[in-house]
Amino acid sequence: MMGFRAVLLRDLRLAIRQSADLALVLGFFVIAASLFPFGVGPSPDTLARIAPGVIWVLALLSVMLSLDRLFQQDLADGSLEQMALSPTPLSLVVLAKCLAHWLTTGLPLIAIAPVIGILLNLPAEGYAVLLAGLALGTPSLSLIGAVGAALSLGARRAGLLIALLVLPLYIPILIFGVTAVDAVLTSVQPTAHFLYLAAILMAAIPLAPLAAAAAVRHGVEG
**By the criterion CB under 8 A, which residues form the site for other proteins?**
2-3, 5-7, 9-10, 13-14, 17-18, 74, 76-79, 81-89, 93, 220-222
CB 193 within 8 A of CB 180: yes
- Is 155 in a helix, a strand, or coil? coil
Considering the complex, state which of residue 85 and residue 128 has its C-beta at the smaller distance from other proteins.
85
CB of 136 to other proteins, least distance (A): 31
Burial of 138 (0-12, 13-18, 19+ CB in 10 A): buried
CB of 117 to other proteins, least distance (A): 34
CB of 97 to other proteins, least distance (A): 12
If you ran DSSP here, which 8-state letter would residue 102 be given? I
The Cα–Cα gap between 120 and 191 comes to 25
Considering the complex, state which of residue 89 and residue 172 has its C-beta at the smaller distance from other proteins.
89
CA distances 209 to 10, 39, 91, 143, Å, are 18, 39, 5, 7
CB of 96 to other proteins, least distance (A): 10
Helices (H), the chain: 2-17, 19-40, 44-65, 68-76, 79-85, 90-101, 107-119, 127-151, 158-185, 191-220
The Cα–Cα gap between 94 and 100 comes to 10
Considering the complex, state which of residue 2 and residue 124 has its C-beta at the smaller distance from other proteins.
2
CB of 76 to other proteins, least distance (A): 8
Considering the complex, state which of residue 89 and residue 108 has its C-beta at the smaller distance from other proteins.
89
CB of 63 to other proteins, least distance (A): 22
Considering the complex, state which of residue 34 and residue 82 has its C-beta at the smaller distance from other proteins.
82
Considering the complex, state which of residue 85 and residue 111 has its C-beta at the smaller distance from other proteins.
85
